[in-house]
Amino acid sequence: MTRSYDIEMIADELVQVGHEMERKGLIIGSVGNISARVNRDTILISSRSSFLGRLKREELIPMSTAGEKLVDSSLEPSSELFMHLEIYRRRRDIGAIVHTHSPYASAYAFLKRPLRAVNPESQYVLGKIPIISFFPSGTKELALAVANKLVSPVRVALMEKHGVISVGESAMQALNLAEMLEETARINFLIDVLEKK
């Protein structure tokens, strides 16, 4: 990916996406994180412990793809910085990453239970949804495990005992995929309950 975008426009979209994540029930409080690629060498990522539902532009940290902070700020990037950077390094085709703790999908991730395709969207848009084995949050081991599963054309995955990761050309697209995955998990839950009756 060689394209470059206006950093202010990207920041505004990330703020909007952060607010939508909470409004749609995909996160609560300070869980989850988001980022977007600004150009080949720079990303914007939410700061550590920021409340995405009330995210402000100044809480987005410009980082080099080598992991260096590009502004003088007391804020630190998300603890999942390694994961974001490793995904961008491997996936030149994506421009944004969304990590949620959406409840239904996170429950299936915790159980390492595969999600079944239940409608055309889950079959053709989400495709086969990988489950990433557990590694501690913020570690390079987790970053590598996630990047190894998110190989093109995969755009969503479940992370055992952790939640959901989705990628897209834009933050809005990544959010839409995370929403679609949560809907798929909810339908799977209903099917699982009804099949037992």
- Residues 10-49 have pLDDT tens digits of 999 999 999 999 999 999 999 999 999 999 999 999 999 8
Residue 128 lies in a domain: yes
Q: Catalytic site residues? A: 80
The total of structural domains in the chain comes to: 1
The answer on pLDDT for 81 being more than 60 is yes
Q: Which two tokens stand for residue 188?
A: 């799977």
Q: Domain residues for 90?
A: 7-195
Helices (H), 99-170: 103-111, 120, 140-149
Residue 102 lies in a domain: yes
The answer on pLDDT for 116 being more than 70 is yes
Residue 59 lies in a domain: yes
Helices (H), the chain: 7-23, 81-90, 103-111, 120, 140-149, 171-195
Residue 35 lies in a domain: yes
Give dist(CA 183, CA 118) in Å, integer: 10
The answer on pLDDT for 144 being more than 70 is yes
Residue 122 lies in a domain: yes
Q: What percent of the chain clears pLDDT 90, i.e. is strictly above it?
A: 94
| Arithmetic mean of pLDDT, 124-142 | 96
Residue 143 lies in a domain: yes
- Residues 148-185 have pLDDT tens digits of 999 999 999 999 999 999 999 999 999 999 999 999 99
At residue 119 the predicted structure's pLDDT band, cuts being 50, 70 and 90, is very high
CATH code for the domain in which residue 78 is found: 3.40.225.10
Residue 52 lies in a domain: yes
Residue 2 lies in a domain: no
